[in-house]
Amino acid sequence: MKKYQIEVCANSIESCLAAQAGGADRVELCAGIPEGGTTPSYGEISIARELLTRTRLHVIIRPRGGDFLYSPIEIKTMLMDIEMAGKIGADGVVFGCLTAEGEIDLPAMQQLMQASKGLSVTFHRAFDVCRNSQKALEQIIELGCNRILTSGQQSTAELGISLLKELRIQAAGRIILLAGCGVNEKNISHIAQETGIEEFHFSARQTIKSDMNYKNESVSMGGTVHINEYERNVTTAQRVMDTIQALYKAIDKE
């Protein structure tokens, strides 16, 4: 039987622990999920490292939301964050840099790869907004990255099945493809069967209500950006288990 690798996108230590309890092989710890993920704090990485005893810890290195065209100061920040993650004991880091023309920013990536020696490196979904996926794949392999997190340049991995399959064939075992974005218990087996990919990234989150008794819902912490301040999304062990089981059940039937 195939052994799939499961990565959970964790937005908190609580989500990290749920991922571990649900059987995830690793987590990608992120802050700023509504922005697509930004670098978590020193404290969060440190406590996650302390509590994740069976699950590998990867940390996103992304100084802000928005595009992946980074200034020299932002690259310097990323280098420091990689150093910090390594010292704390992270198993891997996750980053990606593009040029203004949508190409892989090779000089920036080379600096970050040098700083990441000894760590597993995932090139994140900056790949999904690059100009030429086939060319980018070869460049990322040449840089020495261990894997690429991708939805096949579509809004979800299920919609990106066609390109994901093409990329896996092109990669020919030289790099791992990690299928992510919109992966869940309902579609994971379909994506696996159609693409042949063996690593999956998902959040397995559900909404939980705040325990606050007093609420002032007229005030938004985001100013003009209004979200529900009295609920949050957290990974649950049950959804992680359900998604993993859905994958293996489909394989058992083959």
Residue 188 maps to which CATH number?
Answer: 3.20.20.380
Q: Which helix (H) or strand (E) holds 18?
A: helix 13-22
Q: How many domains does the chain have?
A: 1
Report CA 7 to chain centroid distance, whole Å: 8
If DSSP codes are grouped into helix, strand and coil, which group holds residue 76?
helix
Residue 253 confidence (pLDDT)? 61
Please compute the mean of the pLDDT values over residues 88-105 and round it to a whole number: 98
From the list 138, 147, 75, the residue with the least C-alpha distance to 111 is: 75
Across the chain, mean pLDDT equals 95
User: Which residues lie across from 57 on neighbouring strands?
Assistant: 27
Residue 1 confidence (pLDDT)? 55
Residue 122 confidence (pLDDT)? 98
Residue 129 confidence (pLDDT)? 98
Reply yes or no on whether the pLDDT at 222 is more than 90: no
Please compute the mean of the pLDDT values over residues 63-87 and round it to a whole number: 98
Contact predicate 184/213, CB 8 Å: no
Copy the structure tokens of residue 22: 């649900």
Reply yes or no on whether the pLDDT at 225 is more than 90: no
Reply yes or no on whether the pLDDT at 123 is more than 90: yes
Residue 219 confidence (pLDDT)? 82
Domain range enclosing 167: 5-252
Among the listed ranges 2-6, 99-103, 159-163, which one has the minimum average pLDDT value?
A: 2-6
Please compute the mean of the pLDDT values over residues 220-241 and round it to a whole number: 86
Residue 100 confidence (pLDDT)? 98
